[in-house]
Amino acid sequence: MQNNFNMYKNLVELMKLGHVDNALILNLLSKIKETDMSKHYMKAHGICHIFDQSLASLLHELAIKDFEPESPLLYDIREFYVERISSVMQQWPKYSGDMKYPVPSTEDLLGPQHMYINSKNLWTGEYGDLRKELLDFLIERFKAQ
């Protein structure tokens, strides 16, 4: 389909200009929000990883249907969008201070990285509620842009 090719081409052109397709980000973040991640096979993963995998699936689907873009370009698009989300995460009032682990620990003796690693389900309990709050924050920020 020509439509898919145009969507992919637009993503590449926007990325080259340093611009982000906020509609795409909102769409993927909203899908994460709509999914009960606590029962999902990705329950041990955070927002960035799930977003990246969702974007990779979308790009792969576009590539299979119409054309075969270069793999490095697909990776660049994914990295560009995850970096954009990460930069907005840093604006969250409860940001942990760690870009790789933005959700703060709910345990006094654990830092953000160890809390992430030691959690079997990142989407339940007080820690999961903070992750959902961050997801809501991201959705609101990208809606406003």
Cα angle for residues 129, 50, 101 (degrees, 5° grid) = 55
- Average of pLDDT values for 80-103? 93
Residue (of 79, 76, 78, 60) closest to 68 by Cα position:
60
pLDDT band at 129; cut points 50, 70, 90: very high
Domain count, the chain: 1
Q: What is the pLDDT of residue 102?
A: 96
CB count within 10 Å of CB 143 equals: 12
Longest dimension (CA), the chain: 54
Q: What is the pLDDT of residue 1?
A: 42
For 108, the domain range is 2-144
